[in-house]
């Protein structure tokens, strides 16, 4: 994997709750993502450079839920700081941190915030 930092679920929660904007990318399958995910996460089941969203910020942090050396390297090459959630969603769930269920996906799309540095 690219030169990335691994953080535990509590550190990830603090990072997301902090004042700095963090893009959370969940690399699990659509079905697994639909069963529950970190609030605000975006699903990227086809963890490849071609599947990255067009509106990636130009700078900042990206928290990966799941591991992909290709995605981590690509994001790092684009100037983003990549951190990986230790134990993925299992680590998050073990700490009993909040999850967003699939029933909230439609609401998420309607009110999705714009990422800093994203094109319009």
- Distance, CA of 80 to CA of 91 (rounded, Å): 23
Residue 82 bridge partners (DSSP): 62
Please tell me the pTM assigned to this model.
0.81
Provide the residue-wise pLDDT of the chain in tens; the chain has 120 residues: 457 899 999 999 999 999 788 999 999 999 999 999 999 999 999 888 888 888 888 899 999 999 889 999 999 999 999 999 999 999 999 999 999 987 654 444 444 443 444 443
Contact 7, 75 (CB under 8 A): no
What domains sit in the chain, N to C, each tagged with a CATH number?
A: 5-110 (3.40.250.10)
């Amino acid at each position: 994997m690219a030169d990335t930092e691994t953080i535990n679920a509590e550190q990830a929660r603090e990072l997301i709750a902090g004042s700095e904007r963090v893009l959370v990318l969940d690399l699990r399958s659509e079905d697994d993502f639909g069963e529950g995910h970190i609030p605000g996460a975006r699903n990227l089941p086809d963890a490849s450079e071609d599947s990255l969203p067009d509106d990636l910020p130009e700078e900042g942090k990206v928290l990966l839920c799941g591991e992909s050396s290709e995605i981590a390297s690509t994001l790092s090459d684009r100037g983003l700081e990549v951190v990986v959630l230790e134990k993925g969603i299992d680590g998050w769930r073990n700490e009993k941190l909040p999850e967003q269920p699939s029933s909230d996906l439609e609401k998420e799309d309607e009110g999705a915030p714009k990422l800093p540095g994203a094109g319009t």
